Structure 1
Amino acid sequence: MSTFRIEGGYKLRGEIQAQGAKNEALQILCAVLLTDEKVVISNIPDIIDINILIELLRKLGVKVEKLASNKMSFQADELNLDYLTSEDFKEGGKSLRGSIMLIGPLLARFGKGYIPKPGGDKIGRRRLDTHFEGFVQLGAEFRYNKEEHFYGVEAERLIGSEILLEEASVTGTANILMASVLAEGETSIYNAACEPYIQQLCKMLIRMGAKIEGVGSNFLKIQGVQQLSGCEHTLLPDMIEIGSWIGLAAMTQSEITIKNVGWEHLGIIPSTFKRLGITLEKRGDDIYIPPHLNGYEIQNFIDGSILTIADSPWPGLTPDLLSVILVMATQARGEVLIHQKMFESRLFFVDKLIDMGAKIILCDPHRAVVIGHDFKSQLKATKMSSPDIRAGISLLIAALSAKGTSVIQNIDQIDRGYERIDERLRGLGARIERID
């Protein structure tokens, strides 16, 4: 298992290109199963989670061809559906939570879909009820093998239905949407997630021949078609990585330009960082962050009460950025309450920051109060382990700002979501070494 050795306390400088969006890629790659024609996808991030999914598609029989850096073609014209019940699939599929989105396309096109209980980050309960309740409403029969933790849905045909989602689940919306595009009749999905990832999936499906109305809203109307064709699709820049680079620049008082960010898809993210006192300049489609040599000050609410940063469904703030915002607040001027509503274990990494000297009060599994140092006291280097992707990048940001040499273990968690992170950081002047 690899580790990072980081010599912190140095200011960085330069330009960085955001990778393709991981969460979008997971949906888009599953959607290639909806047609037997070739689908070309560009801006695919070269990260562990995406490579695992591509390997699952290969083993399922999808023809995968690398066309250029971060560009591949996929053709699902000769699939081996027996692989879905093999021991290899039961083992490989559970290593990636995104594998759950294989079920919708398989159910729509072949009348059956199976998946082992998916893994992923250890950040608390992540229910799958929304997915399977949607499939059942479309006419599928659900079964679950408790001994093997193996899920299955089967249907001779899917019939359009009016579906009201219990929660605005991004992956649940994507899964039900992909199942409904080949169902008979009309399907409506109310309380649908409307993140840019879902909007991108809708646009791709429409290019493939799907009939979808309401793109960008929480009410989607789908008229089923008999078959879909191939297409080309380019992934958006990863807004979570963009937010991570903003946090890194502020925390290390560095001068960084993030290239080609897709401003129109960032939603509330820039304004959230501005409320934390961060200066962001829009230069074309780039974000320029000047060195915050005088620090950054957290705004209070207009009545003087402490600022609360909380996650919520789009267009609210994505929960994936709360860990980065929390670590960045440790050097701010002022205080902030971080409220992680969705996952009850995602804030448990703060004990590592407290060991480094951060002033954090963990109120309960969902809330933490951060009292900033205003750069009057540097964090201390330490040895730590990355518990999940977003906590991992946050600990890496903390280590780059800390005085001394830190060691981060279990960095596979970081590699799951960030492409060549150490190499790209060295390009900005960071002193980081990967040790196998």
Structure 2
Amino acid sequence: MASFVIEGGHRLQGDIVPQGAKNEALQIICATLLTSEEVKIYNIPDILDVNNLIQLLRDMGVTVQHIGVNAYSFKADNVNLDYLHCEDFLRRSASLRGSVMIVGPLVARFGMAVIPKPGGDKIGRRRLDTHFIGIQKLGADFTYYPEQQLYEITARELKGAYMLLDEASVTGTANILMAAVLAKGTTTIYNAACEPYLQQLSKMLNKMGAKISGIGSNLLTVEGVESLEGCSHTILPDMIEVGSFIGMAAMTGSDIRIKNVSYNDLGIIPDSFRRLGITLNQEGDDIHVPHHDYYEIETFIDGSIMTFADAPWPGLTPDLLSVFLVVATQAKGSVLIHQKMFESRLFFVDKLIDMGAQIILCDPHRAAVIGQGKSHTLRAATMVSPDIRAGIALLIAAMSADGISTIHNIDQIDRGYQDIDKRLNKLGARITRL
């Protein structure tokens, strides 16, 4: 198990470029299964979850070629469906939650799919009902085998249907959308997710010959087509990494420029950091975060304590709440962090409390943070990363702390952040990988 050793208290200086978006990459790579023609994808992040998905497609018989820096071509003209029943596939896909999004493309193109109960972060219950009910409405049959924890999906023919999703699930919408593009007739998806990454998937599918309208809204209409062709696609910068760098700069008193962020696709994220009291300036398509001696959390207009809560797009993404929480510990003022979607994502706060942060964990979904205004610097500690987003929050805490901290289980961080130690060390951080 790899670890980071972090010498805290060093300010960062310079420019950093965000990686390609992890959450978009997982969707886009699965979509290559929808055609037998070549699909070229650029700006793919070199991270564990994405690399594992690429290898899974290789093992399924997809021809994958590395065509440049962070660029690959995919050609799914000889998919081995028998591989879906072997132990190797079940083991690999069970450890990767993003693998659930191969179901829509496989059922649409081949009439069958197999998927084990997927893994991923240990952040509480993450049900798949939205995925499965939507694909069922298109005509697929699902069978669950509890002993093997395995789902088998079959469909003689998919037909368009109207559906109102019970939640605006991003991966659920993506999975249904990829199944619907090859279904006969018209599919209407209401309460669809409309995150920028889902918009990117829709635009890519349209370039391949799909007919999707309503992109960017929560009402998608899909006219089914007979087949799709190849295309080229470039993945957006990762908004979660952009937000992580903003928080990191403020908490360590650094002066950094985050380059090529696709600012118009960041939604509410920049203004949410401004409500924490952080100054950030848009300069072209870059974000400049100047040095902060301190930052003060705003209150609501009536003077009540600021609350940050996650919500479907265009609300605040749940993937950044861990960063907001840790950055608030060194702000002046108080804030309530309300993590609505996952019931275990705030449990890492006990590590921050050990470091001297003043946090009250109200329940599995809410934490009250009493910011200390940098009057009491966090203490170094030894920690274990429970998931990707808590991992980066603990790294930010360690970089701002007095002394030398250790974070174990950094494979969790590597799942979502490309060469994070090397990139931050170039800016002046002191992070050693063991």
Q: TM-score, normalising length from structure 1?
A: 0.99
> Following the alignment from structure 1 to structure 2, what is the Cα–Cα distance between the partners of residues 99 and 152?
14
3-state SS, counterpart of residue 179 of structure 1: helix
Identity %: 68
Which residue in the other structure is 1:278 paired with? 278
Structure 1 position 222, deviation (Å): 0.1
Q: Map 1:137-156; keep pairs closer than 5 Å.
A: 137-156=137-156
Which residue in the other structure is 1:335 paired with? 334
> Following the alignment from structure 1 to structure 2, what is the Cα–Cα distance between the partners of residues 281 and 83?
50
3-state SS, counterpart of residue 431 of structure 2: strand
Which residue in the other structure is 2:387 paired with? 388
Amino acid at match of 1:229: E
Which residue in the other structure is 1:315 paired with? 314
3-state SS, counterpart of residue 264 of structure 2: helix
> Following the alignment from structure 1 to structure 2, what is the Cα–Cα distance between the partners of residues 181 and 85?
26
Structure 1 position 114, deviation (Å): 1.0
Q: CA RMSD in A?
A: 0.4
> Following the alignment from structure 1 to structure 2, what is the Cα–Cα distance between the partners of residues 240 and 352?
22
2:347 is the counterpart of 1:348: yes
Amino acid at match of 2:319: D
Which residue in the other structure is 2:398 paired with? 399
3-state SS, counterpart of residue 334 of structure 1: strand
**Corresponding residue pairs, total:** 434
Which residue in the other structure is 2:71 paired with? 71
Which residue in the other structure is 2:419 paired with? 420
> Following the alignment from structure 1 to structure 2, what is the Cα–Cα distance between the partners of residues 159 and 68?
39
* 1:179-234 deviation per Cα after TM superposition (whole angstroms, max 9, x unaligned): 00000000000000000010000000000000001000000000000000000000
Amino acid at match of 1:230: G
Q: Map 1:118-133; keep pairs closer than 5 Å.
A: 118-133=118-133
3-state SS, counterpart of residue 372 of structure 1: strand
* 1:108-152 deviation per Cα after TM superposition (whole angstroms, max 9, x unaligned): 000011111100000000000111101110011110010010012
Which residue in the other structure is 1:84 paired with? 84
Which residue in the other structure is 1:108 paired with? 108
Unaligned runs of 5+ in 1: none
* 1:381-405 deviation per Cα after TM superposition (whole angstroms, max 9, x unaligned): 0101000000000000000000000
* 1:21-75 deviation per Cα after TM superposition (whole angstroms, max 9, x unaligned): 0000000000000000000000000000000000000000000000111000000
Q: Map 1:24-423; keep pairs closer than 5 Å.
A: 24-293=24-293, 295-423=294-422
> Following the alignment from structure 2 to structure 1, what is the Cα–Cα distance between the partners of residues 26 and 168?
18
Amino acid at match of 2:181: V
Unaligned runs of 5+ in 2: none
> Following the alignment from structure 1 to structure 2, what is the Cα–Cα distance between the partners of residues 257 and 135?
43
> Following the alignment from structure 2 to structure 1, what is the Cα–Cα distance between the partners of residues 325 and 398?
14
3-state SS, counterpart of residue 202 of structure 2: helix
> Following the alignment from structure 1 to structure 2, what is the Cα–Cα distance between the partners of residues 318 and 169?
12
Q: TM-score, normalising length from structure 2?
A: 1.00
Moved over 4 A (4+): none
Of stretches 351-360 and 149-158 in structure 1, the one that deviates more from structure 2 is 149-158
Structure 1 position 237, deviation (Å): 0.1
Structure 1 position 10, deviation (Å): 1.2
> Following the alignment from structure 1 to structure 2, what is the Cα–Cα distance between the partners of residues 256 and 125?
37
Amino acid at match of 2:359: I
